[in-house]
Amino acid sequence: MSITALGMLFQFVGGLGMFLYGMSAMADGLQRFAGNRLQRVLEILTSNRFLGVLVGAGVTAIIQSSSATTVMVVGFVNAGIISLLQATGIIMGANIGTTVTSWIVSMSEWGEVLKPEFFAPVLFGIGAFITMFAKSHKKKEAAEILIGFSLLFIGLSFMSGSIEPYKDSPVFSMAFQILGGNPLLGVLTGLVVTAIIQSSSASVGILQTLAINGMVNWQSAIFITLGQNIGTCVTALLSCIGTSRTAKRAAVIHLMFNVIGAIIFGLVLYGVFLVRPDYGMAQADSVGISIFHTVFNVVNTVILFPFAGLLVKASDIFVPEKAKDRQQEWSPSSVETEMIRHLDDRILETPSFAIENACNEAVNMGKVALANAKIATAALLEKNENFCRDVFENEETIDRMEKLLAEYLLKINNLSLNDEQHLIVKNMYYTIGNLERIGDHSENLAELAQKSIENDYTFSGTAIEELRRISDAALKSVECAIGAREEHELQKVRQTARWEEMVDNLEEELRETHMERLSRNECQMESGVVFLDALANYERIADHAKNVAGYVKEEMQ
């Protein structure tokens, strides 16, 4: 190989690297710029399939990868956030959204002003200056979008420049004649290249680069593009390894959607090329490939959308139910196993969704902590030893939940986040820490109950009534704090603060009245110590509840 040829190879590899990195950087910038607006998409996901198609297209247009969107959907299905039928609409939309990249690539053929070498360096320079000198994080996020966008075009320019000297080479013309003459070989080529790169957007971009240099005929371009749409399913199929049966079915639906579309379009266009071979041998262009890529995905969605239910049923045949699947479905799962399933790493593909998912699991952890505090209160007031054992078991569960959530939040924190998202992740760390402390104080109450049972301590009727008053207020504060976290409602934050203040006042008041009873010898000294310790624990439970609500208030300011 000559030095010139080696230099061209290096230029192509470097251009491909810049193209892929530019796509990634632009997608990261768009995600951070969009921020928590994507969280609202979760509400749309649960409405209807048509909106699911729009959501799938919109999210894919932002993250620049239908593979990533489908992997994320597999995670949603595995976590039980959406149903398989809802996932079908999103998967269809994802295939439409991925065509955005091909239109970006084809911009170089829209006119001299839109050629990469004309404006990409300027965009890169503007983005670099903003990154270096701007103080606003929003401006820096916008600059990252510009830098990624410009790198994508510069990479395309490098690839195109490295290929141009060889565009008249007979090797390439013969290769594409062979691919065009054998549709299965063309489909297989597109499939393999996309499976290796793990991105149909990138492989279509490479095909368009070849088309810009006049090296691809339409017959080859059509069948390679069909193969690229099938190849993009490989990522989702790999990601569903080790997931639930339902998640595997979501990946299979993605594969069926693209395979059925490729068969329909492949047969129709193969017939067209047989009748009019001059159409197939005509030179393909970048814009034409974008048009075909878009038409294929839109028409395929229109054709198969009414049959989404049949696709779901067909997936049941390809991923049959096993005996152990039925057993797992009907047997109760442990809380930590459920949380592991819900905190799916596939959802990390989109940070805003991952944050929302973690917030939901924190709420679930809060509900477990609240339930445990109620059981501990019943154990103390009723002197029930079985309740004490339940509290101790639940406290171990709460500890495990905190560990799982903390590890997941650490993964989220390492993603590309904007300032608002960083604040939420930080507050979620503090939130689960406070919820775990509520669990600890519930355990303390159960230990006080156990001590009372073992030593036969008794409370007076007045003392029991006072414990009911302060425990009710403390539990109300926890309930309102969890509601504030779940509903992001300022009214719940205020209610939490009021209940916490009531607990503080009650703790001080009841401590004084109890000391008076002790001085009059109206209750035992030993049971009096248990009573005072219980007051202190309820006061601390309310404090932690106020902290949880306070983090919600901070996020809303």
Domains of the chain: 3-318 (no CATH), 336-556 (1.20.58.220)
Query: What are 187's two structure tokens?
Result: 């489909």
> Taking a C-beta distance cutoff of 8 angstroms, is the pair 391, 443 a contact?
yes
Average pLDDT over residues 242-262: 84
Task: Please check whether residue 380 is in contact with residue 445, taking contact to mean a CB–CB distance below 8 angstroms.
Answer: yes
**Mean predicted lDDT score pLDDT of the chain:** 80
Name 292's Cβ contacts closer than 8 Å, sequence gap at least 6. 221, 222, 225
Comparing 63 with 88, the larger pLDDT belongs to: 88
Residues 130-150 pLDDT 10s? 888 887 767 777 788 788 877
pTM of the model as a whole: 0.66
User: pLDDT tens digits for 454-477?
Assistant: 888 887 788 889 999 999 999 999
Alpha helices in 35-98 (DSSP H): 41-45, 49-63, 66-79, 84-97
- In this structure, of 29-33, 319-323, 412-416, 467-471, the range with the lowest mean pLDDT score is 29-33
Contact yes or no for 526/457 (Cβ under 8 A): yes
- 326 pLDDT band (50/70/90 cuts)? very low
For residue 4, the SS3 value is helix
What angle, 0 to 180 degrees and rounded to 10, lies between the N-to-C axes of helices 49-63 and 66-79?
130
User: 461: number of CA atoms within 13 Å, CB side?
Assistant: 0
What is the residue-wise DSSP string for 153-218? HHHHHHHHHHHGGGTT-HHHHHHHHHHHH-HHHHHHHHHHHHHHHT-HHHHHHHHHHHHHTT--BH
Cα–chain center distance at 346 = 6
